[in-house]
Amino acid sequence: MSSSDENFRESLRCWLEENCPPSMRTPMGGEEDEVWGGSRGVFASPDQRLWLERMASRGFTAPTWPVEYGGAGLTPAQASILEEELRQLSCRPPLHSLGLWMLGPVLLRFGDEVQKRRHLPPIARGAVRWCQGYSEPEAGSDLAGVRTRAVLDGEHYVVSGQKLWTSHAAVSDGMFCLVRTGADSARHEGLGFLLVDLASPGVDVRPIRLISGESPFCETFFDDVRVPVENLVGQPGQGWKIAMSLLEYERAWISRLGDADFVREEPLEVLARRYLGEDRGQLRDAVLRDRIAQVDMDRLCNASAVRHAVEAMEAGRGLGPESSALKLQAMELRQRWRELKVELAGFQGLGWEGPGFSPAELRLTRDWLRSRANSIEGGTSEIHLNIIAKRVLGLPD
């Protein structure tokens, strides 16, 4: 490490120690500990707001973005140091954001100067929340089947159609959408990547109620919504390329968040000892010991792959179809891990509500159920296997 990087680490550590409120250095609990920002964002505590404001004021929410776009302008090496120091001091992430993880990198790569200056700083501050409008009733795995249409009319696109499974649309300010700007027959060539203000007349966001009651999912209807032409990122017809690039970032981020949970949560071994006891210092069941060790080893491999991917992204390199391997590996591992946790806790891992279960035990069940969606969101495992087969291994159709 260069001496300037060492100096950077030193001054950074002092700054973090001074500026990270003590309550932001405690382990994250449930979703209420996540700050998503946006005009409708809520802070569970004044410290959450303070921590976000302080980090954003230094550009540390978007470490490698240029300073003029709200970032800190760090080199990839400095960004890694920041990450290490945040972990070392147990600082919570100040902001969760699809804008930071997905839209921002895409704008940096494909956006024009006006779009970058307009959209990136509010994303870095957490002032605007974005959601993703890709899926439709007839377009999920076959994303090029998108039917939502954007017709040019003077200085506007007039958008009509329906998006489905738009997570958190009801609490977001904007949606980055894949829309059809050309003929239906053009499939991949007829698509555009459009930024839609969800407060526009003609947008109707309807939350979807699931069996558990509320749900983060929405369906979003566009009824002749007028969207300024300057909200098209790239050129008409370039939407597929841009949307695919965004998916690479999405896959890497899903994998990264998954790994952060591993680090944050109680190790499997500790959980096993608590529920199953031990015999002369070790778990009695050798098969169980083996399964725990296997998950832990796989997690280390996954963490190293995630780190490699993040470094590539921070250095401005695309991940390509290898991002499918990363997402597949991370999510299958995550499901195995969640399942094993429930199994180790036995009956206590199967509570839904009521007395007899601690909050942590109730979370085991809910986290396990939530993890079933991990092999669907961001593209299903079957689709990722297809991509790996064709585009990584070069196998025939």
Ligand X SMILES: Cc1cc2nc3c(=O)[nH]c(=O)nc-3n(C[C@H](O)[C@H](O)[C@H](O)COP(=O)(O)OP(=O)(O)OC[C@H]3O[C@@H](n4cnc5c(N)ncnc54)[C@H](O)[C@@H]3O)c2cc1C
The residues binding ligand X (CB under 6 A) are 131-135, 140-141, 165-167, 373, 376-377, 379-380, 382-383, 386
Residue 135 or 365: the one with the smaller Cβ distance to ligand X is 135
Q: Is 253 helix (H, G, I), strand (E, B) or coil?
A: helix
Q: Which amino acid is at 127?
A: A
The answer to whether 74 and 85 have CB atoms below 8 angstroms apart is: no
Torsion-angle region of 392 (φ positive above 0: left; ψ -120 to 50: alpha; else: beta): alpha
Rounded to a whole number of angstroms, the minimum distance from the CB of residue 103 to ligand X is 12
Closest to ligand X by CB, 117 or 390: 390
Closer CB to ligand X, 348 or 374, in the complex: 374
Name the residue whose CB lies closest to ligand X.
140
What's at 45, amino acid-wise? S
The secondary element (H helix, E strand) that includes residue 157 is strand 156-163
In degrees, rounded to 5, the angle at the alpha carbon of residue 85 between the alpha carbons of residues 79 and 90 is 130
250 included as an active-site residue? yes
Q: Which of 111, 133 has the CB closer to ligand X?
A: 133
Which distant-in-sequence residues (6+ apart) come within 8 Å of 215 by Cβ? 207, 208, 209
Lookup result for tokens 């002749």 = 224
Question: CB 114 → ligand X: shortest distance, Å?
Answer: 26
Burial 17-55 (b: 16+ CB within 10 A, else e): eebbbeebbeebeeeebebbbbeebeeeeebbbbbbebb
Judged by CB, which is closer to ligand X: 132, or 245? 132
Residue 126, CA atoms < 13 Å, CB-side half-sphere: 26
Both structure tokens of 204: 């109707």
C-beta of residue 239 within 8 angstroms of C-beta of residue 185:
no
Query: Which candidate in 85, 250, 265, 322 is catalytic?
Result: 250
Q: How far is the CB of 228 from ligand X (least distance, A)?
A: 22
State which residue, 48 or 172, has the beta carbon closest to ligand X: 172
Shortest reach from residue 132's CB to ligand X, in Å: 4
Q: How far is the CB of 25 from ligand X (least distance, A)?
A: 30
Give me the least distance between CB of 361 and ligand X, in Å please: 23
Contact indicator for 90, 21 with CB cutoff of 8 Å: no
Instruction: Compute the radius of gyration of the chain from its Cα atoms.
Output: 22
AA identity, residue 108: L
Query: Could you list the active site residues?
Result: 250
